[in-house]
Chains A and B, each alone.
Chain A
């Protein structure tokens, strides 16, 4: 299970890549593996205001629907439109081409509440 050291993680299995006041959001390798074949992704709309721990969209596998929660608060400035036609990018490259959206952080201090790679790995071991 890949857990890149440079990313931050939520306990709901989303990852965040922080660059200045922007954060890219996706779901973790563990999450995509648990879901199975992703067949549909509902991404937020550009300009939508996200609140930390609240829903930002849904990901559906063949047999299940899962909510994706925003790990941070802020305004959506970019969404991954490729997921509309290629939802499997989430399975194939969860930390890369399977990114979901980019937000402009409204409360950068929230980053400190997220888990680092080590803490997230520990969480996975506890849940297993």
Chain B
């Protein structure tokens, strides 16, 4: 198997991870099992290696204007110590990627992008520097990232630091936090729908942090968790995955991410096209579906209604917390209504399904 190794590769092997190639990286799809790991994150805690994610620093006096032009969301009210989610688009409204923007200072931001898109995003950002005085630095290769997720995440992390990590609000972060003696950035974010933290560190410190968190979480029943449950967890919460619910052909509006597209802010890449798409009506929309027949919808399977193909499955699998088989489907807008009965073409068999509300799972508050 060929691929890049994260600083935690040896840990994955040591912990019995089943290594697969994902977006050019060698990462564990599972350790003990997708269902057990999924449940651990929903009820206790799980530790993910997300070091493959890309970290690009943007600095300089025009960095705010540069980012406002790049992202579809509005950063005007983003304060130092806050994080914001946003898609980024091409001029035609197609999606380049979705990412997190961290504000460290008026002229210093961190952009965290999807692993498979690092090079593409880097080039796109370089192209968009234009007249802005901004310096971009790709630190992906020297940055490690661990995601500690689940209802016990805070309890576990607090054992390893004196910093008040419990006071970090959702989508906020703290810089220069000593965790197990290592300097980190602790961010209250995640991709699982549970409470939790994403912890950024120097790549060489990642193994020490991994061991410290696994040991600290032992009595809480922490499990090392792989890509398999990372996908089922985000899927239950209907969080988009680039390449599935977002792509150059799927705009953020079609993906149902309109709340992260601020058409009324100053000009940004894709604004005109997205305004036009909103005004003329979306051709297709990403909707949630429950499979009511016997079968599992998988990405790429055609979706049918009234005897014709109306779209395709973008993500499909069991939703372990619900005990049901669910799907995210991209379908013609005319059929995109809650309660609509559709069929999924599962290897030639038409399996009934019904359009339901998103998300499929929301954590109890």
Contact = CB atoms under 8 A, between A and B. Distances in A.
A96 B30 CA distance: 25
Contact of A36 (B33, B295, B296): B33
Contact of A62 (B18, B35, B347): B35
B347 A37 contact: no
A36 B347 contact: no
Given A58-B347, A62-B317, A63-B317, A37 B33 contact: yes
Interface in B277-296: 294-296
A60 interface: yes
The main secondary structure of chain B at its interface with chain A is mixed
B222 interface: no
Interface string A74-94: 000000000010000000000
Interface string A25-67: 0000000000011011000000000000000001011110100
Interface string B305-334: 000000000000110100001000000000
A63 B228 CA distance: 7
B139 to A, nearest CB: 31
A63 B22 CA distance: 13
Interface string B15-55: 00010000000000110011110000000000000000000
B30 A60 contact: no
A62 B320 contact: yes
Given A58-B347, A62-B318, A37 B34 contact: yes
A62 B298 contact: no
Given A62-B228, A63-B231, A65-B298, A36 B318 contact: no
A40 B18 CA distance: 21
Contact of A61 (B34, B36, B231): B34
A40 B295 contact: yes
A61 B347 CA distance: 16
Contacts of A58: 347
B192 interface: no
A96 to B, nearest CB: 20
Contacts of A37: 33-36
B228 A39 contact: no
Nearest to B228: A63
Contacts of B294: 40, 84
> Looking at chain A's contact residues, is the secondary structure mostly helix, strand, loop, or mixed?
strand
Contacts of B320: 62
B322 to A, nearest CB: 13
Nearest to A34: B18
Most buried by A among B228, B232, B325: B228
B192 to A, nearest CB: 15
Contact of B232 (A40, A62, A65): A62
A91 to B, nearest CB: 8
A63 B30 CA distance: 10
Most chain B CB inside 10 Å of its own CB: which residue of A58, A60, A61, A62: A62
Contacts of A65: 296, 298
B293 to A, nearest CB: 12
B34 A63 contact: yes
A61 B36 CA distance: 13
A36 B30 CA distance: 9
Contact of B228 (A36, A40, A60, A84): A36
Nearest to B29: A63
A51 B228 CA distance: 34
A56 B136 CA distance: 55
B30 A39 contact: no
**Most chain B CB atoms below 10 A, which of A60, A65, A84:** A60
Contacts of B35: 37, 39, 62
B253 to A, nearest CB: 29
Given A62-B35, A62-B232, A63-B231, A39 B318 contact: yes
Contacts of A84: 294
Contacts of B33: 36-37
Interface of B: 18, 29-30, 33-36, 228, 231-232, 294-296, 298, 317-318, 320, 325, 347
Given A36-B30, A60-B296, 5 more contacts: A36-B228, A40-B295, A63-B29, A63-B231, A65-B296
